[in-house]
Amino acid sequence: MHSGQYLVFRGIQLESSRALRANTDRRPITFTSVNLESPMILNENFWAAKVPEENNASPFTFDFQSMELKDVERRCCVVKVSEASSAKKPVSCSGVVVHPRTGIIICTGLPFSRFIIDGDPLYWDHDFLPPRSFSAKLQICVTFPTDTKQSARRATITPTRSKTAAGQREAAAELLMLVNCVEFKHAFQAVFQEADQWRFHCDEDEELLRDFHFLSWFAVLRVGVVLDSSQDSGTIPWQSSAPLQKGCPVVACGSPFGSLCLDLFISTLSRGIISNLAGEDNAVILTDARCLPGTEGGGLFVVKGAGSVHLIGLIVSPFGWKANEWIGLTLVCSAQLVFRNLISCLSVQDPLRNVWLHPGESDIQMSTAAHESKAVKYPTVCFVDSGQFWGSGVVVGSRLVVSCRHVVNRKSKVRLKFHHRDRVHDSVGDVLFSTKASSPYDLALVQLRDAVPEAVVSRMCQSFIPGESVVVVGYGGLGRSCGPSLTCGVLSKAISWNCQPVMLQTTCAVQAGTSGGAVVQRCSGELLGIVSSNTRDMATKVTYPHLNFSVPVTVFQRLLQHFEQTKDVNVFRELDSTEKEIRRVWRLQGAQSKL
């Protein structure tokens, strides 16, 4: 069970019915600890290409040309699916133009799940669905941004309806197939356990529950127009997901609300980092790049060097809830594995095989610029389990870990897990100190019984600059299954009393289970603070992961140094004797007027 703490508010009244511990005084605003489960090649001649013989030289060449960030928008589109003469409402999503000259597009399979006529695929043991599995009256319309410089050179491959509006173009498309990314499916089922009450849609009606089982399905479409006839309009540059690392900068591109108000929302960009990875070749990708409904099927691009980007994934769901807590992360499927499953589904006789076939995935490598950490090392963050609750902890010295009071939960002993590369190191720690419940500083100190190999102890920051880029490292969201998650943001505010910082606020996405995690300076890796809580509106029961609070390291750094010299744990008792003004800050109460 997650150990999560929320800073809760609702106007000037507080609802605290879900508190784990009863409050001894009724304050307007307070902390309430709540029980929570804390480059692919496409042949230029679509029909005439010959499939290469095994062991013979391949006529296909790799397209390693880079794509600039400014080009991402015109490689994404909006797909609207409807049924002629039907009462069913049209469904729209985003898509990625993988090869403009042949008009090949990939998008999420979710919109097509509502038009299946050939039985219930949820119980089929199929890896793909052909067009005949869907309504014969299926209509697909694709809208994509236009490049005015290239519009005069566009030509049609086959006669088709196409119209152009200011800044965008619309064309009819045909469904070639739906493919199931089995690696994503298996990883998804292993990570997102039903017992954790994961949900990836706003509602829970039967139709959307059906869609839940369609998260691993993707549609391959073809439009009958040349979407871009320029010299550099070959296959979209893409990279294998296997070498990805947490913290890689990424850009998501999709169209919020699908086909609604395309003039404003088509191909919208959002920046973030890789937050976590799971499954074979990192089939499941989580990013903190903020996306909205309708961006499903859009692209996730890894940023390389000075602005060049490569496709690494397709957006599956722009949001998710765990036990009714919004986690603030976007779920993505590896594009490489979608392509791999497409290839395995196509027969040699199928002309589409010539579009997807390439010499071999073993040659696909991510450039070092895409996944190098640039020698920035973040402090080692571990998983802390006190039995009923769990959270995070930060290594701050030789066999010393700082966590939160509500994570250790008054226990004298806790279990810790350290994830390092593909290994997990288990340890036991003794709780040396925990602040009193009356202290605004929610801190605990744990001493490990054995040393942790390759643990990183970061330098502690001495100054806090609002607006600087920060990263939160902790076990929120996926918990122990995939190691710590990373989310990026800025230090939005540093609150001081008597010129001493007493509270930090960040815009990073923080979920239950991140308590005790690290706030670090993104470029230097310096430790800024220990995550204590995020925010929850108890009246509406809404959690705000991007408004969270941390204890500055300057609060306990001097005491920690004194302890390492004297081994006297009583030095931390100073944290229990704080001024009432500091307690007021942590209760979100304004200063009392002297008038």
CA-angle at 157, arms to 152 and 160, nearest 5°: 90
What's the distance, CA 109 to chain centroid?
20
- Of 38, 515, 533, 550, the catalytic one is 515
Nearest by Cα to 484 from 544, 524, 424, 526: 424
Residue 442 known to be catalytic:
yes
Q: Contact, 402 vs 394, CB < 8 A?
A: yes
What are the structure tokens assigned to 561, written together?
């140094």
Q: Which residues contact 489 (CB under 8 A, 6 or more apart)?
A: 288, 469, 470, 471, 472, 506, 507, 508, 509, 546
Separation CA 67–CA 253 (nearest Å)? 14
Q: Which amino acid is at 387?
A: G
CA 393 to chain centre: 21
Residue 102 CB neighbours (<10 A): 24
CB under 8 A, 24+ apart: contacts of 60-65: 60/357, 60/358, 60/359, 62/358, 62/359, 62/363, 62/364, 63/39, 63/234, 63/235, 63/237, 64/39, 64/237, 65/39, 65/232, 65/234, 65/237
Active-site entry in 92, 442, 532, 546: 442
Q: Which residues contact 318 (CB under 8 A, 6 or more apart)?
A: 254, 291, 292, 293, 294, 295, 296, 330, 331
User: Which segments within 239-380 are labelled E, that is strand?
Assistant: 249-254, 268-278, 284-287, 299-304, 308-317, 321-322, 325-326, 330-334
Amino acid type, 561: Q
Please calculate the CA angle 528-534-536 and round it to the nearest 5 degrees: 165
Q: Which of 201, 406, 419, 546 is catalytic?
A: 406
Q: Are strands 500-506 and 485-497 parallel, antiparallel or unpaired?
A: antiparallel
| Nearest CA among 324, 256, 270, 293 for reference residue 489 | 270
- Within 10 A of 57 (CB to CB), how many other CB atoms are there? 8
**468 C-beta neighbours (distance < 10 Å), count:** 16
- Taking the C-alpha atoms of residue 273 and residue 330, their distance in angstroms, rounded to an integer, is 11
* Beta carbons of 7 and 515 less than 8 angstroms apart: no
The burial class, CB within 10 Å (0-12 / 13-18 / 19+), for 109 is buried
Within 8 A by CB and 6+ apart from 407, the residues are 3, 384, 386, 389, 390, 391, 392, 393, 444, 515, 516
Sort strands 308-317 and 67-68 into parallel, antiparallel or unpaired.
antiparallel
Amino acid at 361: E
Residue 16 annotated among the catalytic residues of the structure: no
Q: Give the separation between CA 18 and CA 55, rounded to whole angstroms.
A: 65
Q: Is 358 a catalytic residue?
A: no
Q: Which residues are catalytically annotated?
A: 406, 442, 515
